[in-house]
């Protein structure tokens, strides 16, 4: 039986990819192919496999660890990391804007120019290829995003969208970059780098305890960039092979931008319209849900002269997984954290890193899992520590687990 013929678009895709490799070999033989290391398919597959394995391994480790990494050296590392991300993305934005200001470029149908060729009149082809490669290399540096979130036990931020984006964007750019290193790719790279300048600036500034008024617009800006990139690629496709980059690259970008629009659109609806919480993986990690009982206890505490404090809890809070929410009152306290959890001999937790003599509002939620059929537990006897001021605070509620640990605002 004869093999079924490939769809016409797929045949064109394969032919386009093969043709681009032929052109790449010719440029390499002539010494005019820009140096774009680590863009091979084998490297991309290995790096993404490592990213996924390390991500889930770190998650399992931090799931068992009682405390998140919140020490001062770790926070200094986070500040330095975000500053480097802003600098790298800012360099890419500057490089492309400089070219746009000195050359005549259009929204679509910009031809890829070989460095040193007759078409490279301004001599900027190699420079723009180098700027594009910096953007590509930063995608691997940004793997640290995920690992820092997990190290801080901020599991809710490691969604399926987050993981998928980090292990796919480098693949998309790496597949196209060796063949389109200064053409229409300027727009996707410029838009994404600009969004990342704003995003990492938000992380950096908020870590310093300062407001970031552009934060509410980040998701909308991300959706807008995907729409513009998809529009450019669709227009290029409709105008034929003579417009813009290779056919296979246009197909990859249209498909990828479509997936990003769906995933970011779903995230936008859940987070801002329906306001549904997200958990670790948001579809990546699947596990059977057991019956869970939650109890909450809340209050205020005044910190001492060193910015530390101790909070007494009912004795039953020794017997489950605790989730903390601490909110500084009066002024930001970016270093505020839970420094010690309740122990077998002491049902209290400690705060540190706050401002001297400041007030802090706190809520502690205990989660216990019941095997089999859920039953309403008997009211516990509070034999030590402070009694709850509200009798309802000691009564259990059957509900899904609360959101993970929240960092002090």
Buried b (16+ CB within 10 A) or exposed e, 32-56: ebbebeebeeeebeebbeebeeebb
Report the DSSP beta bridge partners of residue 348.
312
Quote the CA–CA distance of 12 and 101 in Å, as a whole number: 35
* Cα angle for residues 136, 244, 255 (degrees, 5° grid): 60
- Output the CA–CA distances (angstroms, integers) from residue 406 to 58, 152, 154, in the order listed: 19, 10, 7
Cβ-proximal residues to 119 (8 Å cutoff; 6+ apart), any chain: 111, 113
Q: Residue 85: its pLDDT value, please?
A: 97
Catalytic residue numbers read: 165
- Other Cβ atoms closer than 10 A to 172: 20
Alpha helices by DSSP H, 31-124: 41-64, 72-102
Task: Kindly tell me the burial class for residue 147, based on how many C-beta atoms sit within 10 Å of its own C-beta (0-12, 13-18, 19 or more).
Answer: middle
Buried b (16+ CB within 10 A) or exposed e, 280-304: bbbebeeeeeeebbbbbbebebebe
Model pTM above 0.75: no
CB contact at 8 A, 297 and 363: yes
Quote the CA–CA distance of 323 and 368 in Å, as a whole number: 11
Cβ-proximal residues to 402 (8 Å cutoff; 6+ apart), any chain: 294, 323, 365, 367
pLDDT in tens, 117-141: 888 888 899 999 999 999 999 999 9
Summarize the confidence of residues 270-289 as an average pLDDT: 51
Report residue 145's pLDDT band, with 50, 70 and 90 as the boundaries.
very high
Query: By C-alpha distance, which of 295, 294, 409, 290 is closest to 361?
Result: 409
Give the chain's length. Answer: 409
Domain positions in the chain? 8-273, 291-371+381-398
Query: By C-alpha distance, which of 288, 287, 312 is closest to 299?
Result: 312
SS3 22: helix
pLDDT at position 379 over 80: no
Alpha helices by DSSP H, 158-299: 160-166, 169-176, 186-207, 218-238, 247-268
pLDDT in tens, 293-338: 678 888 999 999 888 999 988 877 777 788 899 999 988 888 899 9
- In the chain, % of residues over pLDDT 90: 47
pLDDT at position 147 over 70: yes
- Other Cβ atoms closer than 10 A to 397: 11
Most confident of 155-159, 172-176, 346-350: 172-176
* Cα angle for residues 368, 276, 210 (degrees, 5° grid): 95
CATH tag, 291-371+381-398? 2.60.40
């Amino acid at each position: 039986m004869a093999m079924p013929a490939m769809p016409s678009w797929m045949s064109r895709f394969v032919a386009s990819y093969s043709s681009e490799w032929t052109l790449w070999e010719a440029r390499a033989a002539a010494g005019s192919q820009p140096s774009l290391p680590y863009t091979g398919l084998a490297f991309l597959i290995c790096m993404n496999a490592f990213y996924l394995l390390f991500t889930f391994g770190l998650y399992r480790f931090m799931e068992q660890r009682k405390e998140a990494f919140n020490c001062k050296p770790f926070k200094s590392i986070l500040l330095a990391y975000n500053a480097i991300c802003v600098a790298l993305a800012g360099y890419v934005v500057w490089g492309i804007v400089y070219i746009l200001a000195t050359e005549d470029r259009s929204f679509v149908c910009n031809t890829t120019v070989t460095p040193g060729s007759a078409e490279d009149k301004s001599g900027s082809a190699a420079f723009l290829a180098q700027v594009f490669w910096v953007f590509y290399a930063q995608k691997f540096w940004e793997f640290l995003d995920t690992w820092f979130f997990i190290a801080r036990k901020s599991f809710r931020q490691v969604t399926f969208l987050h993981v998928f984006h980090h292990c796919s964007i480098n693949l998309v750019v790496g597949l196209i970059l060796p063949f389109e290193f200064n053409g229409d790719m300027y727009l996707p790279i410029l838009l994404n780098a600009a969004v990342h300048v704003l995003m990492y600036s938000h992380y950096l500034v908020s870590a310093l305890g300062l407001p970031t008024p552009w934060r509410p617009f980040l998701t909308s800006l991300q959706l807008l960039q995907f729409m513009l990139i998809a529009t450019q690629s669709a227009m290029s496709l409709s105008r034929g092979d003579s417009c813009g980059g290779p056919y296979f690259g246009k197909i990859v970008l249209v498909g990828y931008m479509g997936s990003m629009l769906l995933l970011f659109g779903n995230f936008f609806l859940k987070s801002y319209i329906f306001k549904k919480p997200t958990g670790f993986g948001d579809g990546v990690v699947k596990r059977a849900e057991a019956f869970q009982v939650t109890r909450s206890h809340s209050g205020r505490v005044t910190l001492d002269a060193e910015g530390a404090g101790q909070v007494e809890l009912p004795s039953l809070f020794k017997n489950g997984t605790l989730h903390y929410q601490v909110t500084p009152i009066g002024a930001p306290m970016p270093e505020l954290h839970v420094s010690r959890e309740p122990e077998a001999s002491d049902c209290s937790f400690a705060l540190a890193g706050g401002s001297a003599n400041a007030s802090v509002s706190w809520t502690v939620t205990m989660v216990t899992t019941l095997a089999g059929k859920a039953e309403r537990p008997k009211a516990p006897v509070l034999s030590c520590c402070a009694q709850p001021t509200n009798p309802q605070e000691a009564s259990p509620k059957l509900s899904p687990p609360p959101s993970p640990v929240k960092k002090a605002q």
